[in-house]
Amino acid sequence: MNFVKNNLANAFTLGNLFSGTIGVINLILGHYQVTAICIIISLVLDFFDGFIARALKSNSNLGAQLDSLADMVSFGVLPGIAMYKILEPFGTNLFGINLPFELKYFGLMITLFSCLRLAIFNLDEEQTYYFKGLNTPSNTILIFGIYYLIKEDMQYGGNFNEMFSKNIQLGFYLFVAIISSWLLISPIKMIAFKFRSMLLKDNYPKIVLLIGTLLILSLFGIIGIPLVILFYIITSFIFQKQL
């Protein structure tokens, strides 16, 4: 019985890793809808491994290390590959300049900075009631959400590619890659759903975020998911002093 209690949370963490690995494989193969399902599963398992560890009082150094290693695949390698795929069509052409390498490799910046973010998180004891910098699951949702919208637009004959020039698209994607990489390791406080108290005044940022998220999803549906992450970042900026 003690074995199950001590390792149940770790089993959820390994499930996160397994799902994330399958997601990466299917992303490389072009099966982006399967990857979307894998991300959802990884997010759920990542939430519950910590919840179970706290509930069963089975927190351990092993569990903390496993959690970061699993997150590195599900929320580090995966978004880097997603940005790699986004930049793949642009070849070596950077605004008219032919580079000696393909631009898609810039996408792996996200993987590198995700690794840095996870290492910093493990050493930082401040992040009890808030995140310092954008957490890797949120960044994954943002990057993969953009990739998902691009693929859906292409599959259903959308006109996104015709609306904007190739240079504008490239500039936007590079900007997203750079700014998201910076946000991962930035000192900016980000909202976390961890509660200091149940007083209303102490939870205004979370309430605003929750209401805004519901409104965005009700208006835009699945295509509003990247907007939710953008709203999350903006709301965190606004409520810096209350976090």
**CATH at residue 29:** 1.20.120.1760
Rounded CA-CA distance 144/1 in Å is: 39
Residue 195: pLDDT band with limits 50, 70, 90: low
- The full length of the chain comes to 243
Among 51, 183, 57, smallest CA distance to 116 is for: 183
Instruction: Indicate if 110 and 60 belong to the same structural domain.
Output: yes
3-state secondary structure of 127: coil
Report pLDDT for 197. 67
Radius of gyration of the chain (CA): 19
Q: What is the mean pLDDT of the chain?
A: 89
Task: State pLDDT tens for residues 28-59.
Answer: 999 999 999 999 999 999 988 877 877 777 67
CB neighbour list of residue 210: distance below 8 Å, 6 or more residues apart: none
Domain that holds residue 218: 189-243
Instruction: Indicate if 168 and 125 belong to the same structural domain.
Output: yes
pLDDT at 4 over 70: no
Residue 160: pLDDT band with limits 50, 70, 90: low
Instruction: Indicate if 21 and 110 belong to the same structural domain.
Output: yes
- Average pLDDT for 210-221: 94
Residue 109: pLDDT band with limits 50, 70, 90: very high
Among 3, 2, 1, 10, smallest CA distance to 52 is for: 10
Instruction: Indicate if 13 and 89 belong to the same structural domain.
Output: yes
Report pLDDT for 237. 93
Instruction: Indicate if 146 and 57 belong to the same structural domain.
Output: yes
* Helix residue ranges per DSSP H, 73-224: 78-87, 109-123, 136-155, 160-163, 166-185, 204-220
Rounded CA-CA distance 41/125 in Å is: 28
**Domain final position from 156, 187, 218:** 187
Instruction: Indicate if 71 and 178 belong to the same structural domain.
Output: yes
Instruction: Indicate if 92 and 169 belong to the same structural domain.
Output: yes
Among 142, 19, 119, 3, smallest CA distance to 70 is for: 19
Question: What percent of the chain lies above the pLDDT cut of 90?
Answer: 66
Contact 177, 107 (CB under 8 A): yes
What tokens appear for 36 in the block?
């979307």
Instruction: Indicate if 104 and 209 belong to the same structural domain.
Output: no
- What is the domain count for the chain? 2
Among 49, 20, 225, smallest CA distance to 111 is for: 20
Instruction: Indicate if 180 and 201 belong to the same structural domain.
Output: no
Instruction: Indicate if 181 and 197 belong to the same structural domain.
Output: no
Residue 3: pLDDT band with limits 50, 70, 90: low
Report pLDDT for 188. 92
**Domain final position from 171, 187, 203:** 187
Report pLDDT for 63. 75
Q: Strands 93-94 and 97-98: what pairing?
A: antiparallel
Instruction: Indicate if 172 and 236 belong to the same structural domain.
Output: no
Any idea which of 7-21, 46-60, 96-110 has the lowest mean pLDDT? 46-60
**Domain final position from 187, 206, 221:** 187
Q: Name the β-bridge partners of 189.
A: 132
Instruction: Indicate if 138 and 24 belong to the same structural domain.
Output: yes
